[in-house]
Structure 1
Amino acid sequence: MSPVEIGAISVGLIVVLVYLGVYIPIALGLVSFCSVWLISGKPILAFNFLKIAVGDGVTEYAFATIPLFTVMGLLVSKAGLGRDIYIVMNAVFRRVSGGIGMATVGANAVFAAITGSSIASASVFTKISVPEMLRLKYNPRFAVGVVAGSSVLGMIIPPSAMLIIYSFVAEQSVGEMFLAGIIPGIILTVAYVIAIFLMAKFWPSFIGTEIQSVETPAMSGREMFDKSWPVGGLILVVLGGIYTGWLTPVEAGAAGALLAAIIAAVRRSLTRTALWQVLVETGHITAAILFLITMASFYSRMLGYAGLPNQLEEVLRTMDMSFFQIMLIYVLLMLVLGTLLDTSSIILIVVPLFITLIEGMGLSLVWFGIVTVIGAEIGLLTPPLGISCFVIKSTLDSDEVTLKDVFMGALPFAFIMLLVLILLIKFPILSTLILH
């Protein structure tokens, strides 16, 4: 077999192994090692590739953003800021039809800006928002669907773990990826709010025809400030520091983690036991992501050695395909993989294949990263492996809401994500505007 054929078979084999339940770094590393060995006929070369990949991953300075932002997000959850955000947003939208749904979207968007995790958002707001909506007779499908849909904001609005992973795979600046995620995250948030407003007006049966009208207590400006300043301070320090150039992403993560620790301590939610749990969980998450990134680097080097990205570029060029045709293929590939694999798997498998082609077309790899993350995130809402939907179902632990209800409720929000993705492909400037 030729190197290109071995590379192509390796991609398919990795997808099959991950789908069968093999831990993705193991699948990436094992298949990449065997592929390099087969292509070169020298096992020592495969070991050298692995050594370089591991060395580059461990010594990369920007990798420090991962444990720092992880510990910040965990401390924020311990401090109960998610509930405070929800209370404030509920007061803001209290007089609007479907207002609790809008409040959930708004709270999720703000929570995403300080945690960067879709799974954390899904878990937190399933406990906070869904019981309240069910109590007020909202349609159970809408209640869980709005939480599932808005939870994906955690992977788009910075700081985002998926943006960090993409930045390592594509060798892009973490800070630039963070800044590029702001406008698309806001667009998707606004699109969700508008969609809920239109649903309440034209599709009331989906939201709930027997909604109880409950007067949510108004909040004074002082009360809103008291509940909002910790979150506002964190966002200002982290994103403001990166945007102004005063802080690098690593420094912003450190400052955010310190401020989150102070907030948690002031609120007396940071006991010794809680702090130890945060540190242990941070270690587990950091080690898992480091393993993921090093094996992804090994996989990318294997593909380059096999010449598969260059061959794919040549094939698409000979077919004389337009930019939109190429992007259509790319998005469809991500949507299909999204029904089988998690977001990080999709990014790690697909990006190395297309990145040479995108670079050759003179397109921004930062924009391409935003498109990739949003396209892959749609998979969090689609069966059979919509991870956010499974998290919501397991967190809710109620017979009143089935897994089918969660998927059906999330479907309109997945469609809205697809429309926003098309908009970002049509107008790349929306992703890169802040960088200019």
Structure 2
Amino acid sequence: MSPLEIGYAAVAGLIVLIYLGMPIAIGMLGVSFLGVAMIKSDAVALRMLGAVGNDSLREYLFAVVPLFVLMGLLVTVSNVGKDTFDVFQKMLRRVLAGLGIATVFANAVFASITGISIASATVFSRVAVPEMTRHGYSKRFATGVVAGSSVLGMMIPPSLLMIVYAVLAEESVGRMFLAGIGPGLLLSVIFALTILLLARRRKDFVFDETDVAAEFEEFSAAQLVRKSVPILALMLLVLGGLYGGLLNPTEAGAAGAAGALVIALIRRSLPRRTLWRLMVETGQITVSVLFLILAATFFSRMLAMSGVPRELAGLFLGSAFGPYGFLIFYLVLIILLGCLIDSISIMLIVLPIALPVAQEAGFDLIWFGVLTVVAVEMGLLTPPFGLSVYTIKSAIDDPELTVGDIFRGAFPFVVAMLVALAILILFPSISTWLARL
């Protein structure tokens, strides 16, 4: 077999292994080792595996992963998410479908200090859904709003997916974070407009009752200030330090984790057993992410050795497809994969093949990364995988609420994300303006 044939066989073999249920990182390592061994020799494959382990994980940058994960988990247990929702609920209670819009913007603010969509889905399914249903919103719509707005956790910086993309594309993490601000705000506004449109045109979808008598919880100005201070302080500490040039991404993660720890201790929401559980969970998430990155790096080097990316670049860019034909094909493939596997795995499988083609096409890799993250996050809302949907179902544990109901409630937000994706393709400066300053 030629190196090119071995590369294509490795990609096909990886797809088969994933379909059979093998862990993605193990499958990538296996096919990559076998591919290099067939192209060169077993000795070269062993040396390359050792070099990949050394080169891909020794970077100082990778310390940012456990720090931002820990910060997100600490913020989740200290009820900052509930306080953020309370503040926006007070501000938007007189707006049509105001609680739905409050959920979107509270999720956007919460996303700016967690970086993990599942954390947002867990918190707001317990905070926003009971409050919305108490005020006459349908459970289907309430859970759909939470599922839809939870994707902002991976768009608005800091974002775990942005970090993974920056590592694979060899781009600056700080610039990728800046690139997520415009698209994150765009998504938030489109989600809010979607809710307003549904409330006007499809009241039966949004509300169970048209005449709602439930009273809102009242908060004094002093209480609202107390609820606002923790989230604003963390945003100022992390984002202010990062974008003000005072902290690099790793230092910002450390400062944010320390700040979140102080908030949790002040609020007495961190007993010793909970702290230990969060530390273990942080370690598990970090190790799984880094192991996947190691496997993807090996996979990328094997593909480069086989010549598959160069062949695909010639196929797409030298034919009637053209650069934008490749882009549309790539985004559709990611959205389809999102129906089957998780976000990080999609990026680690597809990007080693797609990035060389995108570079050859002359695309701005920061813009390409933003489009990738938006398309990948749609997989959180689409069946049958829909991780955010299953997270909400497990958090609420209501036998009357089916997974199908949540998927139907989230569908308008999938359409809204497609609209946002089209806008970002047509106007790349939304993604690149801040990042390229």
Alignment of 1:220-231 (within 5 A): 220-231=220-231
Query: How far apart are residue 137 of structure 1 and its match?
Result: 2.8
More displaced, 146-155 or 16-25?
16-25
Bigger shift: 212-221 or 411-420? 212-221
Tell me the equivalent position of 1:103.
102
In the other structure, the counterpart of 2:123 is 124
Distance in structure 1 (CA, Å) of the matches to 2:372 and 2:48: 26
The 8 Å contact of residues 88 and 105 in structure 2, kept in 1 or not, is answered as yes
CA offsets per residue over residues 258-302 of structure 1, 9 Å max, x none?
111111111111222222222111111111111111111111111
Q: CA offset at residue 86 of structure 1? A: 1.0
Which residue in 2 is equivalent to 1:136? 135
1:215: how far off?
Answer: 3.7
Letter in 2 for 1:132: E
CA distance in 2, matches of 1:427, 1:52: 40
Aligned-residue sequence identity (percent) comes to 48
> Comparing 222-231 with 12-21, which one deviates more in the overlay?
12-21
> 2:292 is aligned with what amino acid?
L
Residue aligning to 1:283: 283
Distance in 2, matches of 1:400 and 1:19, equals: 32
- The corresponding residue for 2:24 is 24
SS at match of 1:413: helix
Q: 2:80 — aligned with what?
A: 81
* Other-structure match for 1:149: 148
Q: Which runs of 5+ in 1 are unaligned?
A: none
Q: Is the 1:24–1:345 Cα contact (8 Å) retained in structure 2?
A: yes
SS in 2 for 1:417: helix
Shift of 1:401: 0.8
TM-score, normalisation: structure 2? 0.96
Task: Give the equivalent residue in structure 1 for 2:399.
Answer: 399
Report if the CA contact (8 A) 2:92-2:99 is conserved: yes
Question: Which residue identity lines up with residue 388 of structure 1 in the other structure?
Answer: S
Q: Which whole-Å deviations, capped at 9, do the CAs of 1:112-171 have from their partners, x for residues lacking one?
A: 111111111111111111122223331221111111101111111111111111111111
Instruction: Answer yes or no: is the 8 Å Cα contact 2:292–2:345 preserved in 1.
Output: no
SS state of the match for residue 434, structure 1? Answer: coil
Q: 1:272 to 1:433 in 2, by over 3 A?
A: same
Which amino acid is the alignment partner of residue 246 of structure 2? Answer: W
Q: Is the 8 A contact 1:94 1:215 kept in 2?
A: no
CA–CA separation in structure 2 for the residues paired with 1:16 and 1:109: 38
Deviation at 1:218, TM superposition (A): 4.9
What's the C-alpha RMSD, in Å, of the aligned pairs?
1.4
Report the counterpart of residue 413 of structure 1 in structure 2: 413
Retained in 2: the 8 A contact 1:200–1:207? yes
* SS in structure 2 at match of 1:247: coil
* Amino acid in the other structure paired with 1:23: P
Structure 1 residues 82 and 19, CA gap change in structure 2 (3 angstroms): farther
Cα distance between partner residues in 2 of 1:63 and 1:8 = 31
Worse overlay, 81-90 or 356-365: 356-365
* 8 Å Cα contact 2:166/2:176 also seen in 1: yes
Q: Which residue of 1 aligns with 2:336?
A: 336
Give distance in 1, aligned partners of 2:396 and 2:351: 34
Structure 2 matches for 1:263-278, cutoff 5 A? 263-278=263-278
- Tell me, yes or no, if structure 1 residue 93 matches structure 2 residue 104: no
Distance 1:85 1:189 in 2: 15
What is the aligned partner in structure 2 of residue 167 from structure 1?
Answer: 166
1:397 shift after superposition: 1.2
Indicate conservation of the 8 Å contact 1:19/1:340, yes or no. Answer: no
CA drift at 1:5: 1.9
Distance 2:392 2:21 in 1: 21
Residues 283-432 of structure 1: matches in 2 within 5 Å? 283-432=283-432
* Residue 13 (structure 1) shift: 2.4
Whole-angstrom distance in 2 between the partners of 1:317 and 1:74 = 44
For residues 300 and 221 of structure 2, what CA distance do their matches in structure 1 show?
Answer: 52
- CA distances 1:318-363 after superposition (whole Å, capped 9, x unpaired): 2143333221111111111111111111111111111112112222
1:21 and 1:238 map into 2 onto residues whose CA distance is 39
**1:125 and 1:327 mapped to 2: Cα distance?**
34
Work out whether residues 138 and 208 of structure 1, in 8 Å CA contact, stay in contact via their aligned partners in 2: yes
Partners of 2:284 and 2:407 lie apart in 1 by: 29
* Number of aligned residue pairs: 435
1:5 partner amino acid? E
Structure 2 match to 1:243 = 243
Give the partner amino acid of 2:28.
L
Sort the Cα spacing of 1:282 and 1:209 in 2 relative to 1 into closer, same or farther, 3 A: closer
Whole-Å separation in 1 of the counterparts to 2:365 and 2:259: 32
The residue that corresponds to 1:43 in the other structure is: 42
Q: Secondary structure at the match of 2:353?
A: helix
Amino acid at match of 1:383: P
In the alignment, the residues of structure 2 paired with residue 25 and residue 62 of structure 1 have an alpha-carbon distance, to the nearest angstrom, of 21
Where 1:303 maps in the other structure, the secondary structure is helix
1:415 CA drift (Å): 0.9
CA distance in 1, matches of 2:33, 2:297: 12
1:2 aligns with 2:2: yes
1:361-387 Cα offsets, whole Å, 9 max, x none, are 222111111110111111111111111
Match of 1:62 in 2: 61
Q: Distance in 2 between matches of 1:415 and 1:11?
A: 31
Residue 252 of structure 2 is matched in structure 1 by 252
Between the aligned partners of 1:324 and 1:348, the Cα distance in structure 2 is: 22
Partner letter of residue 142 of structure 2?
A: A
| Mapped contact 1:19–1:341 kept (Cα < 8 A) | no
| Distance in 1 between residues matched to 2:196 and 2:108, nearest whole Å | 17
Q: Residues of 2 paired with 1:339 and 1:360: CA distance?
A: 29
Letter in 1 for 2:408: M
Look up the equivalent residue of 1:110 and give its one-letter code. V
Gaps of 5+ in 2: none
Question: In structure 2, what is the Cα distance between the partners aligned to 1:130 and 1:107?
Answer: 13
What letter corresponds to residue 243 of structure 1 in structure 2? Y
Amino acid at match of 1:379: G
**Deviation (angstroms), 1:220:** 4.1
Q: 1:205 and 1:323 mapped to 2: Cα distance? A: 43
Q: Distance in 2 between matches of 1:222 and 1:16?
A: 59
